Chain A
Amino acid sequence: MAENFYQRLIDKYEPMTEAAFLTLVAVRKPIKSEDIPAKIAELTHNKLQLGLGTLFTNLHAMTKDYLMTERVDENDVHTYEITGSGESVLVAERDRLRLLSGIIEAEQL
């Protein structure tokens, strides 16, 4: 039952866009929304960034699909954290990227 549920989400999100991948990786630990752009800059060594609209579109969609949770405190600070569903989708994407990366190495591209 749970596996079917995860599979539905995996089918929906795979293959992942860069924006979705970076958003999901950025929330692996609880993080305030205002800190996410800095986290993405750190993850990509300042080579890639997401526009605010793109970031919040992904946060909104993934929260609705329960890939992450959103907590809002009394100061209206939004904190996001990945869920088990989000981790499952991320693992599926990791395996996909690993396969592609293996091809790149094997073919010495």
Chain B
Amino acid sequence: MRRWHTFIKGSEQELTWLNQQAARGWLLTGVRGSCYQFKATDQKYRIFSEYVTLAVAAEVPAASAPFEQLATAELANPAIKVIYTGSTQPALQQVQVRRHGDLMMELNIATAMRGHFLNMMNVVLFSGLLLIVAATFVSQDNLPEWFTDTYLTLWLMWGAYFLLKATKIHHVADDLRVKTQYYDDAWLPTQHVFFEHLPADLNLEDPQLKSMGRWQLVGHDQKGTYWYDLQTLSSLDEIKQTLQSVVGPDVKVNVLSFLGLGPIGYL
């Protein structure tokens, strides 16, 4: 049996669900992305999930009584493995089992997942837009109405699918922030800052710039046009005013708050 579910890997919610499946006679055999594979079992299993580093994962044996390793899930960001073990030993069905639970790790995974889903949404919306523009151009604006209607519906639904997934994970990440009290890399509005005639890269170590928020260089051209993303709580006017005093009156500063999409690299 296969089931698709978006969980934070290694979280309590996921573990509870896996144990519910085990209680119904479905034992986990594999995890791939959001897809969980199960096989029927008539034995009573209790499932455990733990985070391990890649080095430790290589040392964990497939079976070490009373546990057997059921599945692993390797995550790229953060680079860890989640190992899923199970036991049929009666003594272990109720006993307290110390597992390496880690809310900070869950938070890191949640923010990475949210970023992934938003990036996917951006990719779908951008590529969908490019395709429809290209198709309109090639057909010399003679696309059948049924085609454009179907295309637009599917395109927007696909984008909305990733947005919904990101929103769901965002709420989980919010809960984890409250539990961990860790707000250091919390989401802040991303403002897009453009400079014209800027002679060189901004010194992002400058205390005045640093105090504004988190900076990221997006790109620049040979003519001195620079694009930075700034994650900040400052208003657009505040940003512009502060930056103008840093770069001088010769540099033109434009600040855009919203480009119509979730910011790329949203984390």
Contacts and interface: CB of A to CB of B under 8 A. Distances in A.
Interface of A: 17-19, 33-34, 36-38, 41, 46-54, 56-57, 59-60, 78
Contacts of B96: 47-49
A53 B66 contact: no
Contacts, number: 80
Contacts of A78: 59
A51 B98 CA distance: 6
Contacts of A50: 97-98
B138 interface: no
Nearest to B90: A46
A46 B64 contact: no
Interface string B78-104: 000001010000011001111110000
A29 to B, nearest CB: 18
B51 A53 contact: yes
Given A52-B50, A53-B48, A60-B59, 4 more contacts: A41-B66, A51-B48, A52-B61, A52-B83
A51 B99 contact: yes
B52 interface: yes
Contacts of A47: 95-96
Interface centre among B59, B91, B96 (most CB of A within 10 A): B59
B67 interface: yes
Interface of B: 48, 50-53, 55-56, 59-61, 64-67, 69, 83, 85, 91-92, 95-100
A59 B55 CA distance: 12
A19 B101 CA distance: 12
B51 A49 contact: no
Given A33-B61, A53-B50, A56-B52, A46 B66 contact: no
Contacts of A38: 65-66
Contact of A37 (B50, B53, B65, B69): B65
B64 A49 contact: no
A51 B50 CA distance: 7
B91 A37 contact: no
Given A47-B95, A49-B97, A34 B65 contact: yes
Please name the 9 residue pairs, one residue from A and one from B, whose CB atoms are nearest each other, closest first.
A53-B50, A51-B99, A54-B100, A53-B52, A60-B56, A51-B48, A52-B67, A56-B60, A49-B97
Given A52-B83, A53-B51, A41 B98 contact: no
Contacts of B60: 52-53, 56
Nearest to B48: A51
Contacts of B99: 51, 53-54
A33 to B, nearest CB: 7
19 contacts: A19-B98, A33-B64, A34-B64, A34-B65, A37-B65, A37-B67, A47-B96, A48-B98, A49-B66, A49-B92, A49-B95, A51-B50, A51-B85, A51-B99, A52-B48, A52-B69, A52-B85, A54-B99, A57-B56
